[in-house]
Structure 1
Amino acid sequence: MRSFMEGIVFGTVVGGLLGLLNTPRSGKENREKAKAYLEDNTLAVEDLNVSVQGLRNAIQSLTNEGLASVTTVTEDVAKSVEKFTQQVQPRINRINDKIAVLTEDMEQVAASLESQMPAATDAANQ
């Protein structure tokens, strides 16, 4: 990889020198042209840096807003679930009470049926 990079640098330097030696312009014109080229590219790089920094700031701002929104929504959902649980708990208690009463009634009916069953089977056997 290093020899490849050295080759690129060497080729760039040799190509640049050959271009300068074979140009129809004078040295002063070449320097002015090179200076203008460097200034334009420097301004373009500075503009790019400003744009990248603005993009970073926008992403950071969106990230912060997103986290704040998620936190708010999470808190709201937790409060809603807690409120729902508090509202429903009395109903659940009433349902459990009714189930207990029904279970007790069914046990009484089953016991009553069991007490009548031997008499019914005794009568059928006679």
Structure 2
Amino acid sequence: MKASTFVLGIIAGSAAAAVTVLYSTPQSGKELRSSVKSASSDLKYKLQDVKVKLADMKHSVKHLANEAKEYIPQTVDGVKESIEKWQMSTASNQVRLEKEILAIQNSLEELEKSIAAQNR
């Protein structure tokens, strides 16, 4: 949602509320003007507060985006480096396991041949 749309919605809602209050109030004209003036002043304060909070939020989002641009590439590089180190540290085990698996397969083939020879 855009900030301008949000502010426009607040203004339109406030105007509708003011009109409703004007037509449904049992106050005298002087009291009503005082009440409207007070509500107007309060609305201006609240709108200013909304603007400040939106500016703070915009600044926070910008700061977060800048930090993400800085730290995400570093984190990705760190993860890549960790994976490479892990692969290097497990390479010898991988070779050993492949040899053992090959030896087991050869033993199974010999066992199958032996069983087949005995069954003849």
Q: Report TM bin, short chain.
A: 0.5 to 0.7
Paired residue for 1:47, among 38, 41, 44? 38
Deviation at 1:63, TM superposition (A): 1.7
Q: Distance in 1 between matches of 2:32 and 2:81?
A: 74
List aligned pairs for 1:80-99, cutoff 5 A. 80-99=71-90
Q: Which runs of 5+ in 1 are unaligned?
A: 1-8, 10-36
Rg: which structure is higher? 1
Matched, 1:56 2:47: yes
% identical aligned pairs:
8
Deviation at 1:42, TM superposition (A): 2.5
CA distances 1:6-26 after superposition (whole Å, capped 9, x unpaired): xxx9xxxxxxxxxxxxxxxxx
List aligned pairs for 1:1-126, cutoff 5 A. 38-117=29-108, 118=110, 122=114, 125=118
Q: How many residues align?
A: 90
Q: Which runs of 5+ in 2 are unaligned?
A: 1-22
Q: Distance in 2 between matches of 1:120 and 1:38?
A: 108
Bigger relative contact order, structure 1 or 2 (CA pairs below 8 A, ≥6 apart): 2
Deviation at 1:55, TM superposition (A): 0.9
Q: Distance in 2 between matches of 1:53 and 1:43?
A: 15
RMSD, matched Cα: 3.3
Q: Distance in 2 between matches of 1:69 and 1:102?
A: 48
